[in-house]
Amino acid sequence: MVFFQKKEENRLDNLQERWGKPREGYYNFELISLYNSIKSEKELPEQTLNDFDFEEVFSAIDYTYSRVGQQFTFAHLQQEDISRTWLQWFEKVVNSISQNDDSHIELVKYLSRLDKTSDYYFPISFEGSAVKRIEKLWLIRLVQTTTLSSFVLLYFEPYFFFLFLLSIIVSTGIHYWNKWQVDKYQHVIKSGSGVFSVLLKGL
């Protein structure tokens, strides 16, 4: 218990030291831009972004603590028609949090828990197509039938062992593919509940 408490204290100290400093480390822009694929706002032309090396500029001004915040910032900086109202609201929120130590510490504490690579999938986890499923159920039934049949036929012909082994491998592959599709979002949803609880308090 003491160990985990000390670890959390060290984590908060590191977050405090990071306040007001740009993010460091490798930038995976393929994952960072995932949010762009689901939002409807019109973006700046690709040629314009390339002209002033948008990715390099973004890396220099990225002060975010979470992957989802990083995606949000990356996407909105590319938006072609950001309204003045939205910018005024955003500036007001930033100033309010910056001037309130308790608010920014509490918010950063939760946001920083969404800073794992898997958290890049947070935006698309709300899409109906986020977790893929196997639509060809006949394939699953075929593998199940083949596994059972080849196991029974083993008693009559040893050569059916290879078919049995193959069907086991395919069945295991299908199982872990489905498991991976679901598991990669569990951490995101669990961590996100902490962020939502802070936002609901009015931060």
pLDDT band for position 51 (cuts 50, 70, 90)? confident
Give start and end residues of each alpha helix (H) in the chain. Answer: 2-18, 29-32, 46-51, 54-61, 67-77, 84-98, 101-111, 137-153, 160-200
Contacts for 48-55: CB closer than 8 Å, 24+ residues apart: 49/78, 54/78, 55/27, 55/29
Question: Which residue(s) pair with 43 in the sheet?
Answer: 79
Q: What is the pLDDT of residues 122-134, one digit of tens each?
A: 776 666 544 555 5
Is the pLDDT confidence value at 62 over 80? Answer: yes
What is the token pair recorded at 58?
A: 């973004």
Average pLDDT, the chain: 75
Please state the rounded mean pLDDT for residues 145-152.
Answer: 83
Per-residue pLDDT averaged across 50-66, rounded? 87
Q: Name the residue with higher pLDDT: 78 or 192.
A: 78
Half-sphere exposure of 179 (CA within 13 A, CB side): 6
Q: Give mean pLDDT, residues 54-72.
A: 88
Tokens found for residue 167: 């069907």
With a CB cutoff of 8 Å and minimum separation 6, the contacts of 119 are 66, 67, 68, 187, 188, 191
Handedness of CA 97, 102, 106, 112 (dihedral sign): positive
Let me know: does 19 contact 108? Beta carbons within 8 Å: yes
Q: Is the pLDDT of residue 13 over 80?
A: no
Q: Which has the minimum average pLDDT: 87-96, 101-110, 189-198?
A: 189-198
- 177 pLDDT above the threshold of 70: yes
CA dist., res. 66 & res. 114, Å (int): 5
Tell me the C-alpha to C-alpha distance, in Å, between residue 28 and each of 13, 66, 88, 106: 26, 14, 30, 27
Question: How does pLDDT run across 18-39, given as a tens digit for each residue?
Answer: 777 788 888 999 889 888 877 7
> How confident is residue 154, by pLDDT bands cut at 50, 70 and 90?
confident
pLDDT digits (tens, 9 = 90+) for 69-93: 899 888 888 887 766 777 788 788 7
User: Cα-flanking dihedrals φ and ψ of residue 154, to 5°?
Assistant: -60, -30
* Residue 136 pLDDT class (50, 70, 90 cuts): low
- In this prediction, residues 101-113 reach a mean pLDDT of 75
**Cα–Cα distance between 45 and 28 in angstroms, integer?**
21
Confidence grade of residue 202 (pLDDT, cut at 50, 70, 90)? very low
- 108 or 137: whose pLDDT is higher? 108
Give the residue from 113, 81, 115 showing the smallest Cα distance to 198: 113
